[in-house]
């Protein structure tokens, strides 16, 4: 009598292991891309805020950064002929990522 090996359930078991791994990979990729997009918005906001602060409109800097990147201004500092703005924001995704931070400078009095 010849015994046959039945591999019918092995494909189902392999599929059950692979699907969660693929879903996790897709979720991590989407979360990372979201965090990078938020960092780009933060850098754009800080650059705009530095130009605004260099023109002497420091009162509107925090409002601008919050509107563009949903972030907070950490510092506005004069460094020689430059006015520098530093801001930070939380990544906004449920991943163990550090706080996002950006800094930009503009020539004081520049138009």
* Rounded CA separation 42/101 (Å): 8
111's CB contacts (< 8 A; 6+ apart) are 55
27-48 pLDDT per residue, tens: 889 988 999 999 999 999 999 9
pTM recorded for the entire structure: 0.79
Domain boundaries, the chain: 13-107
47-100 pLDDT per residue, tens: 999 999 999 998 999 999 999 999 999 999 999 999 999 999 998 888 788 999
Provide the token pair at 103.
């800094």
């Amino acid at each position: 009598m010849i015994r046959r090996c039945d591999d019918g359930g092995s494909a189902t078991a392999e599929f059950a292991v692979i699907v969660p791994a693929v879903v996790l990979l897709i979720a991590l990729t989407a979360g990372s891309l979201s965090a990078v997009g938020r960092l780009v918005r933060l850098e754009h906001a800080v650059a705009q805020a530095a130009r605004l602060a260099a023109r002497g409109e420091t009162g509107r800097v925090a409002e601008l950064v919050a509107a563009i990147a949903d972030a907070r201004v950490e510092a506005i500092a004069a460094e020689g002929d430059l006015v520098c703005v530093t801001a930070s924001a939380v990544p906004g995704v449920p991943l163990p990522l550090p706080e996002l931070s950006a800094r930009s400078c503009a020539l004081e009095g520049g138009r």
